[in-house]
Chains A and B, each alone.
Chain A
């Protein structure tokens, strides 16, 4: 991570050749670009989930293809950021153990002093700004905030992604607590990016170093004067002899490889470690058959006629059948078609168009013909019909 001086004859602001200093290695710039995209995508897919009841969030979720797709995208970029974290650990390890770069990103008391100095300078209580080295207190604050954020998001994300496993080890309540922390931390991270990062490297002065990898001497003088002094004094040159480098690498790579493998396995467990829920739509519990009709109420039938076999005469039984079943339409008050069954004589007289009962010949009696066909209003039931048939065949007697 050492800064190399690159002298280039460029025209500077004061018409003098300007020295260009290399600030970031190309791998670091790619790392930043991946983080930039990943962080943005996580925010775009995550925040609408946190605020899912509001209109803008629902519009965004709809735009992303629905909540399931939004979650899927969020999970994919969660995997990307985890892989990025593993790479970063591997890379930092390389800087520390192989290149033996000074741990100039570590925060210290000096950073607090610098921050305070910068603040009182801004307020006008001090005439001089703090002189800072390779990483300013602003940069360190941002870096460690990011580390803090990734750790919190990773742990709480794991708990939400693997609630069954989490509940085996911890009380279940930790899962909604994780969700609360994940959301709170997300909001903090996005707001910090907007306030701190946007101002610090875009608004204050558009700092292109993370994209070009280079800074001018003016910029170095302004932002990292102590580092510039070190470069000029030649104490940052940490070129190693190839032999030492090779020896350190042969130790570092296997160890880091095993560790990275373990971490990748951890990520695999994170992603696919548990089968949280069934994937099908839950069937209705305790399903009840839908169509189970009640037994219909029986149709009320007429009072059963009591027909005694030995008393087949008008007076004994037959007259009563006619009285109860026919006399409404064929009775004394209303003799439809001239037919009345009010008395034996009326019955034998028949209708306007002739008699309906032929004694001794039920088969040809019109009464039987009509009633046997069925469908006559006041239809006689089978028992009644049989009784009348027998009565006619027996001579249709009155007594």
Chain B
């Protein structure tokens, strides 16, 4: 029995050893084939510490400055990756070949792109491999519609998110980090620099860029992130008051700055706001010329109402705004709009007292009528029971 047992043990050892040999041999056979097409990684002390070994091979060459390729269009495509940025990026643990799937071997296959933009256009769909949700959202965006219409200037994933340097911008819950919020307008400014220049002078943009205040809206708070809608549509225009109201009816934000949260109520109660609200609900694609928030307050160049130069608190400034739609308005006319105030004895007192009058007048009149009517009903019932003629 002992011999047999030993025999089994011996057989097992031989089997394991043999298997190991086979694996080793196969590995040996396979690896030289790989070695002939892929350059053997050269240990780069700077790179090796932060970046997974997979990418070291690529970055051996591609971290060299000045690595370029001249495309058929004559444009020079930079092939250099800043490895220090990459090693801090959200993609630091992603292998180069995860995205550059066709560049697994060396020499690399020829680029099919004619221009640098071509190359980006060919590459960006790969983002959906990991970012399906965001990618799908972009399909409905104004940018993608422009791309589909043939405008290759329209933004694609990589225009906002450089895949080789994109830092992590959200916390573990998916909320945008404050630092990331601060940088958003600069990203949009790459293509929308004129709007950016107006924005940074606005009450919102100045607070963000000069004070680092993240209470204020950045581009994406109004326009969305990946499913950025066309802001020139009627639907966008009609919805815009609710967009502003998202923050401007929130006391948690507004109380800090002493701004009224009644701005939506008072707008909706007015002729203009009533119209816009009903259009938005009932015919969102039908245009109305009644103003929305941005018609009076500005679009990207929104100023404080007490701005010494442009503030709408100054009646002359407000009149100019009124006159854009009401060309023959005079200086009395802006008072027809109650400036988001709820009528009170001190502000819009005539309106307040008219409301107060009807508050008592209606119950007084209708109440008197009601009392008489009830007395009449009761008397008629009594008379009928008694058989007396009601005369």
Contact = CB atoms under 8 A, between A and B. Distances in A.
A303 interface: yes
B278 A286 contact: no
Nearest to B328: A164
A377 interface: yes
A163 B336 contact: yes
B328 A292 contact: no
Contact of A286 (B65, B80, B107, B301): B301
Contacts of B369: 192, 195-196
A184 B361 contact: yes
A167 B336 contact: yes
Given A291-B191, A292-B194, A282 B288 contact: no
Given A167-B333, A177-B351, A204-B376, A300 B287 contact: no
A398 to B, nearest CB: 26
B141 to A, nearest CB: 14
Contacts of A336: 39, 106
Contacts of B348: 173, 176-177
Interface string B267-288: 0111100110111011100111
Nearest to B268: A53
Contacts of B108: 377
Contact of B61 (A121, A124, A185, A377): A377
* Interface-centre pick from B60, B336, B372, B378 (highest chain A CB count, 10 A): B336
Interface string B59-71: 0110011111110
Interface string B366-391: 10011011011111101000000011
Contacts of A275: 328
Interface residues on B, range: 35 or more
A196 B376 CA distance: 12
A129 B383 CA distance: 12
Contacts of B390: 129, 222
A294 B282 contact: no
Nearest to A283: B324
A122 B379 contact: yes
B191 A293 contact: yes
Contact of B295 (A192, A285, A299, A374): A285
Contacts of A281: 287-289
B78 A300 contact: yes
A36 interface: no
A277 B325 CA distance: 5
Interface stretch (A61-69, A73-81, A250-258): A61-69
Contacts, number: 229
Interface string B102-141: 0000111010000000000000000000000000000000
Given A66-B283, A172-B334, A172-B336, A290 B192 contact: yes
18 contacts: A53-B268, A53-B269, A66-B282, A67-B274, A172-B335, A172-B337, A173-B338, A173-B351, A176-B338, A176-B343, A176-B351, A221-B391, A281-B287, A286-B301, A288-B194, A290-B195, A302-B65, A334-B39
Interface of A: 49, 52-53, 58, 61-62, 66-68, 115, 118-119, 121-124, 129, 163-164, 167-168, 170-177, 179-181, 183-185, 187-188, 191-192, 195-196, 199, 204, 221-222, 274-282, 284-286, 288-294, 299-303, 328-329, 333-334, 336, 374-375, 377-379
Contacts of A280: 289
Contacts of A124: 379, 382
Given A129-B390, A163-B336, A187-B358, A66 B278 contact: yes
Nearest to A325: B66
B254 to A, nearest CB: 21
Given A52-B278, A67-B279, A67-B282, A173 B350 contact: yes
Interface string B89-108: 00000000000000000111
B329 interface: yes
B107 A377 contact: yes
B291 interface: yes
Given A58-B278, A177-B350, A293-B193, A122 B378 contact: yes
A292 B192 contact: yes
